[in-house]
Amino acid sequence: MRRAAFVTVVLAALALGISVVRAAEVRLAHAAQGKVATSEVKIDNFSFGPATLTVPVGTTVTWINRDDIPHTVVSSDDAKTFKSKVLDTDEKFSFTFTKPGTYPYFCSIHPKMTGKVNVQ
Amino acid sequence: MSKKNGDEILHDHNHDGVDRRGFLKCMAWAGTGAFCVIKGGVLNSYSLSNLSGIGAKEAAGDFGFVQISDSHMGFNKAANPDVAGTLQVAVEKINALPGSPEFILHTGDISHLSKPEEFDAVEQILKGAKPKEIFYVPGEHDVLNDDGKQFLERFGRKARGSGWYSFDKNGVHFVGLVNVLNLKAGGLGALGRDQLEWLENDVKHLKHSAPIVVFAHIPLWSVYPEWGWATEDSAQALSYLKKFGSVTVLNGHIHQTMQKVEGNVTFHTAASTAFPQPQPGKADSPGPMKVPAEQLKSVLGITDVKYVQGQHALGVVDSTLA
CATH number (domain holding residue B85): 3.60.21.10
A70 neighbourhood in chain B, CB within 8 Å? 112-113, 141, 144
Assess whether A79 and A112 both reside in one domain. Answer: yes
Residues of B at the A interface, defined by Cβ within 8 angstroms: 77-79, 112-114, 140-141, 144-145, 183-188, 226-228, 284-288
Domain count, chain A: 2
Is residue B3 situated within a structural domain? no
Strand partners, B45: B36
Interface predicted TM-score (ipTM) over 0.95: no
* First CA to last CA distance, chain B: 32
| Domain membership flag for residue B136 | yes
Say if residue B57's pLDDT is above 70: no
Is residue A22 within 8 angstroms of chain B, CB to CB? no
- Is the pLDDT higher at B18 or at B127? B127
- The pTM assigned to this predicted structure is 0.80
pLDDT beyond 50 at B14: no
Question: Of all residues in chain B, what percent carry a pLDDT higher than 90?
Answer: 75
* A68 to B79: CB separation less than 8 angstroms, yes or no: yes
Angle, vertex CA B203, rays to CA B199 and CA B209, nearest 5? 145
- Asked whether residue A100 carries a pLDDT value surpassing 50, the answer given is yes
The pLDDT score that the predictor gives to residue B207 is 94
Note whether A60 and A101 are same-domain residues.
yes
Domain count, chain B: 1
In a domain, B46, yes or no: no
How far apart (Å, rounded) are the C-alpha atoms in residues B214 and B176? 6
Residues A24 and A83 reside in one and the same domain: no
B53 within a domain of the structure (yes/no): no
Residues A17 and A62 in one domain: no
Residues A84 and A101 in one domain: yes
- Is residue B5, in this structure, part of any structural domain at all? no
Q: Do B287 and A86 touch (CB under 8 A)?
A: no
Chain B CB contacts of A111 under 8 Å are: 183-188, 228
Q: Does residue B21 surpass a pLDDT of 60?
A: no
Give the pLDDT confidence of A2-41 residue by residue, as tens digits. 777 787 777 777 777 776 666 555 454 444 444 568 999 9
Per residue in B169-201, pLDDT tens?
988 999 999 999 999 999 999 999 999 999 999
B58 pLDDT exceeds 60?
no
pLDDT at B107: 98
Q: Does residue B177 sit within a domain?
A: yes
Residues A46 and A67 in one domain: yes
Task: Look at A12-26, B22-36, B167-181, B288-302 and tell me which has the smallest mean pLDDT.
Answer: B22-36
Looking at the structure, tell me whether residues A50 and A104 fall in a common domain: yes
Q: Which chain B residue has the Cα nearest residue A70?
A: B113
Q: Is the pLDDT of residue B123 over 80?
A: yes
Say whether B177 sits in a helix, a strand or coil: coil
Residue A108's domain is classified under what CATH number? 2.60.40.420
Domain around A25: 1-35
Rounded to an integer, the average pLDDT of B282-306 is: 96
> Domain containing B168: what range?
63-320
- B19 in a structural domain: no
Distance CA B231, CA B180 (A): 9
One domain, residues A50 and A106: yes
A24 with A57, same domain: the answer is no
- Region A70-94: mean pLDDT is 94
pLDDT at position B42 over 90: no
pLDDT, position A23: 56
Q: Residue A56: CB partners within 8 Å, gap ≥ 6?
A: A37, A119, A120
Task: Dump the DSSP string for B42-87.
Answer: EEEEEEGGGGGGS-HHHH--SEEEEEE----BT--STT-S-HHHHH
pLDDT of residue A6: 80
